[in-house]
């Protein structure tokens, strides 16, 4: 019987995930279909999942914490970071994973000499990725607009700053982990701070994809290599697909099909 998958989010109309996963289902001759579902009330995620009779789901903004609470079983990393972006139904039990963070880790592997990373932003994505980067041997510092969000990072032992307390030093990678530039034209932090840290950096990375953000534009002014969030999106999608299909396919073969979604 054909398996059904979906992405839950709000908004969800812009998501590339249906295209990414359907290209793979077709290319690998896997009898499944992937749709999108705009979910307003995240507390209804679990009910909706069973009501739709789906095998698996991706979860995007703003429901990753709701997804965490909707699961019966969590893998160790999802448990640690409190956010789930991939759910698989196995015999009526919902299993939750976080593939955003390993996706980001894989995306920045192209900068092998980068060890000291400055995150601009301290939201949910920064929370999961800071933990996986630290576990992988990176040194992560966080700079955020508001002090409130930094508290949980301080408890985890990360060095944190607000715009007022920031002390410039050398960082290898500067990463925009905020939504600044996603739907507006703003920088993630004051330009003066960028002017202090970008010149010494090896590269600048944005998690936003599909557009040149003001942050990436500013980075190019310094002739720095830049990278947007497309590879992160691709890699989180491949890892999710591996869960959806119970590791039936090789990473490489999924990648060769899924990357075509970025050409359309
Ligand atoms: P959250 O809502 O959890 O956090 C938002 C963060 O952005 C906060 O730190 C907030 O600061 C900061 N922020 C928002 N607007 C501004 C602004 N104008 N100036 C300065 N700081 C700002 O978001 P997420 O962590 O869920 O998502 C962050 C980004 O990651 C989004 O752009 C999202 O699209 C992207 N993303 C990309 C993925 C990919 O595959 N490429 C996967 C997942 C996410 P404050 O605390 O002060 O409000």
> pLDDT over 90 for what percent of the chain?
98
pLDDT at 264 over 90: no
Q: What value does the CA radius of gyration of the chain take, rounded to a whole number of Å?
A: 19
Model pLDDT for residues 26-77, shown as the tens digit of each residue: 999 999 999 999 999 999 999 999 999 999 999 999 999 999 999 999 999 9
Q: Is the CB of 208 under 6 A from ligand 1?
A: yes
For residue 103, which atom of ligand 1 is closest to its CA?
40
- The secondary structure of 129-187, three-state, reads HHHHHHHCCCEEEEEECCCHHHHHHHHCCCEEEECCCCCCCCCCEEEECCCCCCCCCCC
Question: What is the whole-number distance in angstroms between the Cα of residue 242 and the centre of ligand 1?
Answer: 26
Taking residues 100-126, report their average pLDDT.
97
pLDDT at residue 214 is higher than 90: yes
How far is ligand 1, taken at its centre, from the CA of residue 126, in Å?
A: 8
- What pTM was estimated for this model as a whole? 0.96
Report residue 165 as tokens: 């307390």
Lowest mean pLDDT among 66-70, 99-103, 209-213: 209-213
- Cα distance between residue 24 and residue 212, in whole Å: 27
Average pLDDT of the chain, as a whole number: 97
Task: Indicate the pairing of strand 32-38 with strand 73-74.
Answer: unpaired
Please state, for a pLDDT cut of 70, what percent of the chain lies above it. 100
> Phi and psi dihedrals of 90, rounded to 5?
-120, 110
d(CA 194, CA 120): 10
Q: What angle do CA 184, 117, 197 make, to 5 degrees?
A: 65
Choose one of 20, 103, 121 to mutate for the ligand 1 pocket test, by most ligand atoms within 8 angstroms of C-beta: 121
Retrieve residue 86's tokens: 């991939």
Pocket flag, ligand 1, residue 84 (CB < 6 Å):
no
CB-ligand 1 contact for 100 (6 Å cutoff): yes
Identify any residues that bridge with 175 across adjacent strands, giving them in sequence order. Answer: 119, 205
Structure tokens at 202: 């090896």
Q: List, for residues 225-262, the tens digit of each pLDDT value.
A: 999 999 999 999 999 999 999 999 999 999 999 999 99
Which residue's C-alpha comes closest to atom 17 of ligand 1?
180
Residue 141 pLDDT grade (very low, low, confident, very high; cuts 50, 70, 90): very high
Catalytic residues, which ones? 64
Q: What is the mean pLDDT of residues 119-148?
A: 97
DSSP code, position 255: H
């Amino acid at each position: 019987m054909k398996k059904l998958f979906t992405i839950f989010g709000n908004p969800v109309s812009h998501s590339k995930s249906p295209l990414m996963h359907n290209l793979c289902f077709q290319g690998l001759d896997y009898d499944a279909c992937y749709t999108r579902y705009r979910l307003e009330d995240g507390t209804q995620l679990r009910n909706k999942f069973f009501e739709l009779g789906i095998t698996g789901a991706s979860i995007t903004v703003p429901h990753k914490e709701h997804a965490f609470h909707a699961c019966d079983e969590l893998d160790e990393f999802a448990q640690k970071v409190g956010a789930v972006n991939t759910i698989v139904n196995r015999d009526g039990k919902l299993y939750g994973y976080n593939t955003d963070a390993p996706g980001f880790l894989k995306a920045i592997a192209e900068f092998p000499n980068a060890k000291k990373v400055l995150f601009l932003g301290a939201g949910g994505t920064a929370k999961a990725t800071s933990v996986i980067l630290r576990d992988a041997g990176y040194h992560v510092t966080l700079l955020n607009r508001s002090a409130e969000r930094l508290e949980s990072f301080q408890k985890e032992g990360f060095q944190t700053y607000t715009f007022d307390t920031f002390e410039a030093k050398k960082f290898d990678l500067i990463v925009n982990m905020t939504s600044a530039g996603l739907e507006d034209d703003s920088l993630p932090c004051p330009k003066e701070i960028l002017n202090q840290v970008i010149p010494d950096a090896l590269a600048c990375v944005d998690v936003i994809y599909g557009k040149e953000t003001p942050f990436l534009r500013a980075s190019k002014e310094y002739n720095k290599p830049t990278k947007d969030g497309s590879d992160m999106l691709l890699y989180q999608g491949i890892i999710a697909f591996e869960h959806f299909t119970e590791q039936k396919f090789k990473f490489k073969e999924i990648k060769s099909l899924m990357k075509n979604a970025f050409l359309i």
